[in-house]
Amino acid sequence: MRVFGSARKTAKFDDLRVYFTRHRLNHAVHVSKKFNYAYISNPKAACTTIKHYLVQAELGDPEFRPKRIHQRANLPLLMPSQLSPKEREKIVDGSFFLFTFVRHPLKRAFSAYADKIYGNQKQKVEILELLGHGPEDIERPVSFEEFMTVISAQPPLELNPHWRPQVLNLGLEALNYDFVGRVENLTDDMRFLCETLHLPSYRIRKRNAKSHGAEVDSVITSRARDLAAQLYAEDYKAFGYGALDLPETAAAVGA
């Protein structure tokens, strides 16, 4: 659990354009006027689980199940485009309780790889192209080391949000976060949010966990770890993660 309460930054909402495209802002920022918060989703950091709970809390219905949780049209939480200019400034000026969740950088990178690349999802095409292959090679195996080599060679701001450094995903230099939770402490940190924001104490059900069945050490080489340490150096520093606290297996890495 990490509560941010130091000197506040003086950013304006438009300053977020450095970190978020307009589409990403609307996709990532979830505002509740009912409970006076703004949640910034962070891909591969339990965002599916958190969104399900927040939607249920907003509607007062613990059994509500949106068909596609990542399509904003299905959610009652507001996007920046649905707010007035004055209300949008509340996201950065401290009027809304602003929170997000982060995850161990290497675990998160491996989760993105296992889900999107090892799992042959559409994002794999980006990596294949950088490796000199076309979409027709979607079945070609890509190792985690190859994946880390390719993404480490790209400008960090231009990376896919699923594996972009979290400090950039969250606009940490511009936004005044009141609370940054950890996926590793999800139950306790969600309990803190419920108490702080007076949210209903519905059960938090983990969503989108997937088992890929491989031993992490068999796919995470020392070079891949070194590349991750370099690419995510600011994440390790900002969020206080250690470089060696790795998962034991690749099970349930897709949250």
The residue whose two tokens read 């802002």 is: 25
Q: Is residue 204 part of a domain?
A: no
Convert the pLDDT of each residue in 14-27 to its tens digit. 999 889 888 889 99
Q: Return the pLDDT at 119.
A: 87
Q: Is residue 250 part of a domain?
A: no
* Residues 24 and 85 placed together within one structural domain of the fold: yes
What residues make up the domain containing 47?
A: 2-103+164-197
* Residues 64 and 22 placed together within one structural domain of the fold: yes
Q: Is residue 247 part of a domain?
A: no
Reduced to 3 states (helix: H, G, I; strand: E, B; else coil), residue 33 is coil
* Residues 116 and 179 placed together within one structural domain of the fold: no
* Residues 151 and 58 placed together within one structural domain of the fold: no
Q: Return the pLDDT at 249.
A: 38
* Residues 114 and 28 placed together within one structural domain of the fold: no
Segments in the chain below pLDDT 50? 1, 211, 213-214, 245-255
* Residues 115 and 6 placed together within one structural domain of the fold: no
- Give the residue from 231, 253, 111, 81 showing the smallest Cα distance to 167: 231
Cα-based angle 33, 97, 241 (whole degrees, multiple of 5): 140
CA 186/CA 197 separation, integer angstroms:
16
Convert the pLDDT of each residue in 199-221 to its tens digit. 998 888 775 555 454 455 557 88
* Residues 48 and 169 placed together within one structural domain of the fold: yes
* Residues 23 and 121 placed together within one structural domain of the fold: no
Q: Is residue 188 part of a domain?
A: yes
Q: Return the pLDDT at 203.
A: 82
* Residues 60 and 134 placed together within one structural domain of the fold: no
Tokens of 88: 């949008």
Q: What share of the chain is helix, strand, coil (3-state, %, to 5)?
A: 45, 10, 45
* Residues 42 and 126 placed together within one structural domain of the fold: no
* Residues 134 and 178 placed together within one structural domain of the fold: no
Number of domains in the chain: 2
Q: Return the pLDDT at 165.
A: 97
CA 67/CA 196 separation, integer angstroms:
29
Q: Return the pLDDT at 243.
A: 67
* Residues 87 and 158 placed together within one structural domain of the fold: no
Q: Return the pLDDT at 255.
A: 39
Helix locations, the chain, DSSP H: 22-28, 47-59, 85-93, 105-112, 124-130, 144-152, 166-169, 186-197, 216-219, 222-231, 233-239
Q: Is residue 255 part of a domain?
A: no
